[in-house]
């Protein structure tokens, strides 16, 4: 039988590698959102003195500034909760995939018949 001399250039990734890649992309996305938040937060902290001066000079409505600060806090909480939920969801998917794999491996093996030996009768009719 001839053996194929061509080498497959397609590299198949295992299910766990694919899930790990997905987790890495989610974590990278979450980290980019956190960096974006930190930049915005740093900009607001630099201008916090200016905002208080604007309040003291009554250049802006205090309700608007409070609303903006509340929105920033809510956004930060949403990003954190989204990141945590995404990580826990991927962990659960990995657990379920491993569990399914273990179950399929157990189902493939045929069940063995019980091998208990019967006790041999000794003695008998004399």
pTM of the model: 0.41
Q: Give the closest residue to 36 by CA, choosing from 81, 72, 6.
A: 72
Tell me the three state secondary structure of residue 74.
Answer: helix
pLDDT tier, 96 (very low <50, low <70, confident <90, very high otherwise): very high
Task: Say if residues 91 and 20 touch (Cβ distance below 8 Å).
Answer: no
Q: Average pLDDT of 46-51? A: 60
Say yes or no to pLDDT of 118 above 70: yes
Say yes or no to pLDDT of 37 above 80: no
**Tokens 């938040």 -> residue:** 37
121: tokens are 């009768």
Say yes or no to pLDDT of 9 above 60: no
Task: Say if residues 33 and 79 touch (Cβ distance below 8 Å).
Answer: yes
């Amino acid at each position: 039988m001839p053996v194929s001399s061509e080498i497959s250039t397609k590299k198949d990734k295992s299910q766990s590698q694919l899930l790990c890649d997905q987790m890495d992309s989610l974590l990278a996305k979450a980290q980019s959102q956190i960096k974006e938040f930190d930049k915005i937060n740093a900009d607001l902290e630099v201008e916090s003195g200016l905002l208080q001066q604007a309040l003291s000079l009554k250049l802006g409505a205090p309700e608007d500034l409070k609303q903006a600060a509340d929105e920033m806090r809510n956004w930060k909480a949403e990003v954190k909760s989204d990141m945590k939920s995404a990580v826990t969801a991927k962990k659960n998917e990995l657990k379920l995939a491993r569990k399914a794999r273990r179950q399929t491996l157990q189902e493939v093996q045929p069940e063995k018949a019980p091998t208990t030996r019967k006790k041999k009768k000794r003695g008998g009719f004399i």
